Amino acid sequence: MLFLQGLLKHMLKHIPNIITSLNVLCGCVAVIFAVSGDLITASFFVFFGIFFDFFDGFAARMFRAQSDLGLQLDSLADMITSGLAPSIVMVQLLSKSISGEYLILTAESFSNTWESYLPFVGLLIAVASAYRLAKFNIDTRQTTSFIGLPTPANALLILSLPLILQYQNSEMVSSIVLNQWVLIGITLVSSMLLNAEIPLFALKFKTWDVKSNTIRYIFLGVSILAIVLFWFMAIPLIIAFYIVLSLFRRENRVS
């Protein structure tokens, strides 16, 4: 009996890491589709990966299986799913905005014009994500909240763009989303937000009571309403609302 109990406990301890590994798998598949130019499928695999990213921490707390290995694995998974994949998607969007086609790397992909290299600006998202995740692992201030935009939130922002183009496209939307300077601006701003010294609340429920989770329930309620009304266009609005709500919360605490 004791042997079975020990075996069960050992198995439960690995459940969070298994969930995190599914995040890694989704991220790898998303990268493959993004490189091939199928940004819609890539987007959905990133969403699946972020879903697993949310529940691996939940499972770790439920089974009391937090570990240094899990922390490192989680960051490596986020680097692929929420760092590399959205970065490649931005490269493809920039390529589409410049040449009208998604980028397929060959020796002839580059010309003598500076515009042929411009899509690689999108890789700044991967660099900024890597720096943000490395800093997160050694920053003791981020145990109950975040400092800087979390990589999954940034990934949702970037991945919403091809989804908007696919499902809510119009002449005006296309002119904005496929404007190379808008895309470069989003790349630069999101890369800075990832590492900005801005305290943001974490969407982690230690208890379910309203009093200690008021800001989380407000955020979830507004987010659900925005998604119902605006579909994928709601995602950039939700990210902006998340930042503003966090800053408002901070100002109230200071005052």
pLDDT > 90: percent of the chain: 57
> How far is Cα 184 from Cα 211, in angstroms, rounded to an integer?
41
- Considering the domain boundaries, does residue 229 fall inside one? no
The model's confidence at residue 112, banded by pLDDT at 50, 70 and 90, is: low
Q: Which residue range forms the structural domain that includes residue 136?
A: 2-198
The confidence score (pLDDT) of residue 116 equals: 75
pTM (2 d.p.): 0.87
Bridge partner residues of 147 (DSSP): 199
Task: Look at residue 115 and tell me whether its pLDDT is greater than 80.
Answer: no
Minimum mean pLDDT range among 90-104, 110-124, 228-242: 110-124
Tell me the CATH number at 162: 1.20.120
Greatest distance between any 2 Cα atoms in the chain? 72
- Considering the domain boundaries, does residue 243 fall inside one? no
Mean pLDDT score across all residues of the chain: 85
Distance of CA 32 to the CA centre of its chain: 17
- Considering the domain boundaries, does residue 162 fall inside one? yes
Task: Look at residue 193 and tell me whether its pLDDT is greater than 90.
Answer: yes
Which residue from 35, 190, 208, 21 is spatially nearest to 119, judged by alpha carbons? 35
Q: What is the dihedral of CA 91, 95, 98, 100, to 10 degrees?
A: -150
- Considering the domain boundaries, does residue 163 fall inside one? yes
**Residue 185, CB half-sphere, CA atoms under 13 Å: how many?**
7
Place of tokens 């190379």: 180
Helices marked H in 114-213 — which ranges?
124-138, 151-167, 171-177, 180-194
- Considering the domain boundaries, does residue 189 fall inside one? yes
The model's confidence at residue 15, banded by pLDDT at 50, 70 and 90, is: confident
Structure tokens at 112: 């003598």
> How far is Cα 21 from Cα 11, in angstroms, rounded to an integer?
15
Total of domains in the chain: 1
Bridge partner residues of 253 (DSSP): none
- Considering the domain boundaries, does residue 221 fall inside one? no
- Considering the domain boundaries, does residue 231 fall inside one? no
Query: Which residues have a Cβ under 8 Å from the Cβ of 252 and sit 6 or more positions away?
Result: none
Let me know if 180 is exposed, middle or buried by CB neighbors in 10 A (0-12, 13-18, 19+): middle
- Considering the domain boundaries, does residue 15 fall inside one? yes
Structure tokens at 144: 């109950």
Minimum mean pLDDT range among 57-71, 133-147, 167-181: 57-71
The confidence score (pLDDT) of residue 3 equals: 45
